[in-house]
């Protein structure tokens, strides 16, 4: 699977009670104003993404909150993820 918007650090899968969650850990490309500097990873920032969703998260905890919300409530519930992450004190 290609991952064109970053430098991939690691790929792994979790078995979530019979459903595989494929995770990509990556450094996004650097930005200069509104421009993305392709090929120049920002190694000060690490993000996580999974193939089922088109969002990235700053921690594995928030990725799991996002994935659970996505699976149970659908694609338009991302504001709920922000609230849950704030309530339990994890970085979104």
pLDDT tens string 41-83: 999 999 999 888 888 899 999 998 988 888 888 777 777 888 8
Q: Sign of torsion, CA 13 20 3 34? A: negative
How many domains does the chain fold into? 1
The domain of 53 spans 6-88
The pLDDT value recorded for residue 18 is: 83
Sequence-distant (≥ 6) Cβ neighbours of residue 82 within 8 angstroms: 92
Q: What is the pLDDT of residue 11?
A: 92
User: 1 in a domain, yes or no?
Assistant: no
Is 71 part of a structural domain of the chain? yes
pLDDT at 40 over 70: yes
| Residue 84 belongs to some domain of the structure | yes
42 falls within a domain = yes
Q: What is the pTM of this model?
A: 0.83
Residue at 72 is within a domain: yes
């Amino acid at each position: 699977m290609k991952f064109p918007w970053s430098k991939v650090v690691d790929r792994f899968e979790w078995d979530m009670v019979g459903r595989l969650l494929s995770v990509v850990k990556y450094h996004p490309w650097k930005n200069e104003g509104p421009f993305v500097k392709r090929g120049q990873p920002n190694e000060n920032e690490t993000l996580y993404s999974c193939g089922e969703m088109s969002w990235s998260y700053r921690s594995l905890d928030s990725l799991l909150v996002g994935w659970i919300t996505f699976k149970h409530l659908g694609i338009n519930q991302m504001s709920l993820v922000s609230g849950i992450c704030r309530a339990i004190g994890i970085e979104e």
